[in-house]
Amino acid sequence: MMSDGALSQDEIDALLAGVDSSSMNGGSPAATATAAPSAANFDSAALEKFFSSTTNALSANLSALTGASVSMVGPEVDAQSRDNFLAVLPSMVTVVTANYTSGFPGEHLFMFPEESAKVIASLMTKEENIQLDDMAMSVIGEVVSQMVGTQITALTDKTGNKSIVAASPTAANVPKAAAALPAGDFAVMAYQVNLGDASIQMWEVLGPSPAGDISRSLSGGGSSPAAAPSQPAAMGMGGMPNMGGMQMPMGMGMQNMGGMGMQNLGPTNVQPVQFPNLMQPRLGPQESGNIGLIMDVSMEMTVELGRTRKLIKEILGMGEGTIIELDKLAGEPVDILVNHKLIAKGEVVVIDENFGVRVTEIVSPMERINDMGYNY
């Protein structure tokens, strides 16, 4: 039967699986068959052992951020493909991407069911019936940032790899089909998080490359560096390698090289360097240069005297002379916000005939997270 040149579905499936489609039409198979993709190339047991050792620290961080009692169970580590993992997920998920950019570069993300993300955001902002808007996504991104920092510290101590860096987390609530999952077989770590009175699910996903590199490094094998091109060594007299133009005389073995400073080499004393925690790191030359590019960008700075909540009927009943009681006491510091984010506190002053504010306190990063619910 003549073929019109189009591939059948069976032939397409065979090509995707790495099978020569000619054998399906009675032709002779190729001389060298293309091997099917190998199974996941990471050690699930090594990943599970390491990430389980970090759950106590993660629980403590999450408890400090939310003010709730937190305990984490897991993780259970498994190899998943995109289709298999999507079948497990609910229809809507909050995806927080925090890819590793160096050390063990590759895909790294956290995923929460939509309702679980709402629980975290509600505890962080102290609001009920919260919506997963930009502010909530920012809050959840801060939570994941703290978790990733804790994991990187532990991973650095365990593997000795001091170049591990992750990108700043970005969060989005999307249909599960829109989640940017890694290709191939990737590692999925499933956690159960007991957060106050709620029990929520969390998945941590590692792409094939970082999952394999991390598990090998944890097992003592190290990551897989790019192979350098091999070059044959020049041979000198007596069949010994030519050492940079210096030929080794015949009859002179390695044991006879004491006069060349290679006899009494004892073991090298290598000790890990202990670095302090950097709460507010200084900018290096590169970062300072980048900051200089945006020094002329203007930002909105506001001073907030206080807030209150009113019923609609109370708002509609307002008129001239109505007194609105705010949530701040007289003499209490006012909030200083940049682009609606709290950065400092101060006291109101009068300069000539204008109001001003004197900065009395710069808000710490942890306080900014705890007060995130007041930043709209």
Cβ neighbours, 10 Å, residue 207: 24
| pLDDT for residue 7 | 59
Query: pLDDT tens, 312-350?
Result: 988 888 888 888 888 888 778 888 888 888 889 898 888
Least confident of 4-8, 86-90, 200-204: 4-8
What is the percent of the chain with per-residue pLDDT over 90, rounded to a whole number?
A: 30
* Average pLDDT taken over every residue of the chain: 76
**Structure tokens belonging to residue 187:** 């590692």
Sort strands 92-97 and 170-175 into parallel, antiparallel or unpaired.
Answer: antiparallel
Cβ neighbours, 10 Å, residue 366: 12
Report the chain's C-alpha Rg in angstroms.
Answer: 30
Q: Which amino acid, one-letter code, is at 142?
A: E
Architecture of domain 44-218: 3-Layer(aba) Sandwich (3.40)
- C-alpha to C-alpha distances, 313 to 118, 310, 317, 319, 322, nearest whole angstrom: 29, 8, 6, 12, 14
| pLDDT for residue 78 | 92
Can you tell me the distance from the alpha carbon of 293 to that of 189, in angstroms, rounded to the nearest whole number? 40
Can you tell me the distance from the alpha carbon of 171 to that of 285, in angstroms, rounded to the nearest whole number? 30
Sign (positive or negative) of CA dihedral 329, 331, 336, 342? negative
Query: pLDDT tens, 159-173?
Result: 999 999 999 999 999
Query: pLDDT tens, 84-130?
Result: 999 999 999 999 999 999 999 999 999 999 999 999 988 888 888 88
State the residue for tokens 């942890």: 366
Residue 128 DSSP label? S
Residue 158 region by backbone torsions, left for phi larger than 0, else alpha for psi between -120 and 50, else beta: alpha
Q: Is the pLDDT of residue 8 over 80?
A: no
Query: pLDDT tens, 256-292?
Result: 444 444 445 555 566 666 555 555 455 555 555 566 7
Q: Where are the domains of the chain?
A: 12-39, 44-218, 299-317+325-374
CATH class label, 299-317+325-374:
mainly beta
Query: pLDDT tens, 30-68?
Result: 333 333 334 568 888 999 999 999 999 999 888 888 888
Buried/exposed 39-68: b ≥16 CB within 10 Å, e otherwise: ebbbbbebbbebbbebbeebbebbeebbeb
Query: Which of 99-113, 214-228, 358-372 ranks highest by mean pLDDT?
Result: 99-113
| pLDDT for residue 238 | 42
